[in-house]
Structure 1
């Protein structure tokens, strides 16, 4: 029975904290009432004036988001800001551990040698309490879906029509300048320098941590064959076009002028999609199967301009610009695009503000709560 109670208590740490907070609030009110009854009339008026302070303290303890996170063991660590799935998995592991402890406690209660009524009562109470961590898991799953399965306000198409290549939308407030150099796990990669490149090819990582003027790979022609097969490219377009792509696929540009010929265009550098794209409103980061590649320089552009003649022998035209930041390439077939992530600009997406996702971590205290 004692072992079962210990396991039950460890699995009920969050409710214990909540109980302590409530007990502390009740003690404040009881002490204030006692002082109010024992003081003189003059002091009684003064203590009455202080009632708003007492109530304010109680409201703060009950309604403060940092306090709620503390008592619910819902850590708000900065490393979770760009990684909502990680927070969900950590919370899920803690809650499942709590449920496991309670199941063990139920077994110990039910098999103890004490009187039948006592052990049956404890076993039933412990079993009933499992409802609450299960409810917490349900709420966490909802929050996880809001973040991970996020859809911008401009996407009103049925979710069932989403392309299998579409990994996810990334809310705009998670990317680029929103990284904080002072927060461990939230700051940009330490390897982001002219001489040292991040080797992480995860599309979400590139968009979230390397949005500004970053080239995730060497020029295609400088890569070893093992890395050259698939390449990462960036495509900027209108928000409505990006939504259409998310629910179908890319479409080749077939209307002149097209500098590298007809096809789908991508830039090597995120920053320089701004100078190349004819439209703006959304950014797409995609992994592309390059296939047979025709490399050209500025003197050879006329051999491919406004043409698809190169389609016969090549899958991709790669333009080695004089400034390697401005390299770009054109693929002939959207089937070469394997997967992508999309960021819709703030002016085209009101849901971040409506869901208050942009203020989710603003009340972070002591780096965590």
Structure 2
């Protein structure tokens, strides 16, 4: 647990070290093939092989432009790192005088510096969209890869010049570092979007199940991504559409507030097939559900609509009904044949399952529509779900996910 969080906090340093090693390797090999070891990769077989002037000025310009474009990320990181390291070397007083040293140390520790070094944009539209953030990183890496491949091809096309061909080999070697960078970006994305909670705050006796996650389980969402935490910044606002037609479970959790009802009352729908329901339980039970499935409630005092699995129309609607709290589940449900239960019939089916023979679900119409709830008789009716473990989940703070976009210096960093 600790090792994973330490590795996550070390991502920025790994990006820096990768950039430095890539720069050192590229520069070192280029010096070797240019000055001392021209035949490091290829042998001179033609009189013009070692003559760089034979390449032509235009070709040299094209090679330089492609090289700079393909290594833009590495160049920026390397220049920034060396400038930061040279500042105290040139002006030693920065480390001796607190007035100079403190701002310098603060700059090194700031999250904006960390984001810059890892090319992790702080644009508000990415805060609630980890997948989009990774997609943009992936596009950048694909762009850099294409530029480097174009340079390799161009260098090999040039006839009778060992230097350009050797440079192509050096660029090909640099793909190793690009792969490392891609893996670091993917790990960063994986922590956010393929999130797994840590329940150390709830109980020391709970053991995480070793069985695979249910096929119905889509993902866990970190609690700080819930819609109640959206801001007024462009791209990070909550969905303002009161009649939002987006039935994506992630959208419902991330861009809508706790009291949001994704759909009208079931019997007011034109197409009565699938319905969005919310369930609340404790974190331990939620984890067990994620690795197996829902269980039928059979206790007399908890089964107003009879035996079954209970859901409300919103997260807020579960607060007054749930016997356990701390974890929210948003599920898409196949309602099947639905029994309508009115207010005066609320206790008619308590502790029973009489309606199971003729119906698949029972829907209770409360006098207040926001308090409606429904019950299904079989867990197979639940098609998929996502979960949020609230602040009992210690991983958000342990990994610093809730503070990753703090200390903003500008709108993008």
Structure-1-length-normalised TM-score: 0.87
Given the superposition, is the C-alpha separation of residues 26 and 240 from structure 1 closer, same or farther in structure 2, using an over 3 Å criterion?
Answer: closer
Question: What is the CA–CA distance in structure 2 between the aligned matches of 1:48 and 1:84, rounded to whole Å?
Answer: 38
Given the superposition, is the C-alpha separation of residues 297 and 150 from structure 1 closer, same or farther in structure 2, using an over 3 Å criterion?
Answer: same
Question: Between Structure 1 and Structure 2, how many residues are aligned?
Answer: 347
Q: 1:267 aligns with which of 312, 328, 331?
A: 312
Question: What is the CA–CA distance in structure 2 between the aligned matches of 1:29 and 1:243, rounded to whole Å?
Answer: 50
Q: Residue 292 of structure 2 aligns with which residue? A: 248
Given the superposition, is the C-alpha separation of residues 231 and 146 from structure 1 closer, same or farther in structure 2, using an over 3 Å criterion?
Answer: same
- Structure 2 residue 407 is the aligned partner of structure 1 residue 357: no
Q: Residue 39 of structure 1 aligns with which residue? A: none
CA-CA distance at 1:306 after TM superposition: 2.1
Q: Residue 190 of structure 1 aligns with which residue? A: 240
Q: Mapping of 1:33-182 within 5 angstroms?
A: 59=105, 64-113=110-159, 115-116=161-162, 118-154=163-199, 156-158=207-209, 160-181=211-232
- Structure 2 residue 267 is the aligned partner of structure 1 residue 221: yes
Secondary structure of the structure 2 residue equivalent to 1:287: strand
Secondary structure of the structure 1 residue equivalent to 2:370: helix
Q: Residue 68 of structure 2 aligns with which residue? A: 9
Given the superposition, is the C-alpha separation of residues 247 and 49 from structure 1 closer, same or farther in structure 2, using an over 3 Å criterion?
Answer: closer
1:70-117 CA-to-partner distances (Å, cap 9, x unmatched) read 35433122222221111111101111210111011011112213632x
Q: Residue 52 of structure 2 aligns with which residue? A: none
Question: What is the CA–CA distance in structure 1 between the aligned matches of 2:380 and 2:148, rounded to whole Å?
Answer: 51
Supply the RMSD in Å over aligned alpha carbons: 2.3
- Structure 2 residue 314 is the aligned partner of structure 1 residue 231: no
Given the superposition, is the C-alpha separation of residues 221 and 144 from structure 1 closer, same or farther in structure 2, using an over 3 Å criterion?
Answer: same
Please tell me whether the aligned partners of residues 269 and 327 of structure 1 are also in contact (alpha carbons under 8 angstroms). Answer: no
Question: What is the CA–CA distance in structure 2 between the aligned matches of 1:49 and 1:169, rounded to whole Å?
Answer: 45
Given the superposition, is the C-alpha separation of residues 61 and 134 from structure 1 closer, same or farther in structure 2, using an over 3 Å criterion?
Answer: farther
CA-CA distance at 1:158 after TM superposition: 4.6
Question: What is the CA–CA distance in structure 2 between the aligned matches of 1:299 and 1:15, rounded to whole Å?
Answer: 70
Given the superposition, is the C-alpha separation of residues 333 and 365 from structure 1 closer, same or farther in structure 2, using an over 3 Å criterion?
Answer: same
Given the superposition, is the C-alpha separation of residues 167 and 66 from structure 1 closer, same or farther in structure 2, using an over 3 Å criterion?
Answer: same
Please tell me whether the aligned partners of residues 14 and 72 of structure 1 are also in contact (alpha carbons under 8 angstroms). Answer: no
CA-CA distance at 1:336 after TM superposition: 0.3
Secondary structure of the structure 1 residue equivalent to 2:319: helix
Please tell me whether the aligned partners of residues 111 and 406 of structure 2 are also in contact (alpha carbons under 8 angstroms). Answer: no
Given the superposition, is the C-alpha separation of residues 18 and 114 from structure 1 closer, same or farther in structure 2, using an over 3 Å criterion?
Answer: farther
CA-CA distance at 1:24 after TM superposition: 3.9
Q: Residue 20 of structure 1 aligns with which residue? A: 79
1:241-264 CA-to-partner distances (Å, cap 9, x unmatched) read 111111110011112021111100
CA-CA distance at 1:14 after TM superposition: 1.5
Question: What is the CA–CA distance in structure 1 between the aligned matches of 2:85 and 2:341, rounded to whole Å?
Answer: 77
Deviates more, 1:329-338 or 1:158-167: 158-167
Please tell me whether the aligned partners of residues 244 and 262 of structure 2 are also in contact (alpha carbons under 8 angstroms). Answer: yes
Question: What is the CA–CA distance in structure 2 between the aligned matches of 1:31 and 1:345, rounded to whole Å?
Answer: 49
1:306-342 CA-to-partner distances (Å, cap 9, x unmatched) read 2111001100111111100001001011100011111
Q: Mapping of 1:306-325 within 5 angstroms?
A: 306-325=351-370
Please tell me whether the aligned partners of residues 88 and 95 of structure 2 are also in contact (alpha carbons under 8 angstroms). Answer: no
Question: What is the CA–CA distance in structure 1 between the aligned matches of 2:329 and 2:258, rounded to whole Å?
Answer: 14
- Flag structure 1 segments of 5+ consecutive residues without an equivalent: 34-46
Given the superposition, is the C-alpha separation of residues 10 and 229 from structure 1 closer, same or farther in structure 2, using an over 3 Å criterion?
Answer: same
Secondary structure of the structure 2 residue equivalent to 1:79: helix
Given the superposition, is the C-alpha separation of residues 132 and 255 from structure 1 closer, same or farther in structure 2, using an over 3 Å criterion?
Answer: same
Secondary structure of the structure 2 residue equivalent to 1:151: coil
